[in-house]
Amino acid sequence: MSRLLPPSTDAQYTGSARAPQILALLAVLTLVPAGIHSFLPDGGASVIAGLDMTACRQLVVALFRWAGATQLVFGIVMLLVATRYRSFVPSVLLLLLIERGLHALHFWGGAPPASGHRPPEHYGLLVGLPLIAFALWLSLRPSAAATHGDATRS
């Protein structure tokens, strides 16, 4: 396994212990829709997102499966960073903030969906973005243990 996963970088992480915990929660909240998009017969397009798929069902399902595959990989990376490679927590949270910020811009910045139905992800972003920004802030703040360790070394 050591050839597949390099040694942990947790000891190099100096931010708040809460940030990796929040990242782990966000990883689970990414993996759940990844599973839905990857394994539901319609990828969640009709039953969750409320899309009318009569015109191009195969294309819509294929796009949802593609989204599920990328979510699955990103969710696994988030979980690995939260549990084994914590020195990357700030970087991954920043990438997540950019990604979800772009989603919010596209979902809320344009015209409302033609169906009038917004999938749960649209509303989840309204809670998720501030949570991600908060976790990023926590990850960049030196933890009490790191600050105390610095004081004792002086």
Model pLDDT for residues 60-105, shown as the tens digit of each residue = 899 989 999 999 999 999 999 999 999 999 999 999 999 999 988 9
CB atoms within 10 A of CB 110: 8
Domain ranges of the chain: 15-148
Whole-model pTM: value is 0.85
Cβ count within 10 A of residue 114: 8
Q: Which pLDDT belongs to residue 45?
A: 86
pLDDT in tens, 121-147: 888 899 999 999 999 999 999 877 665
CB 122 within 8 A of CB 49: no
* pLDDT single digits (tens) 41-54: 999 888 888 788 88
Give the CA distances from residue 31 to residues 13, 70, 112, in Å, rounded to whole numbers and listed in that order.
Answer: 24, 10, 26
Rounded (5°) CA angle 20-22-129 = 125
Torsion sign over Cα 71, 75, 76, 77: positive
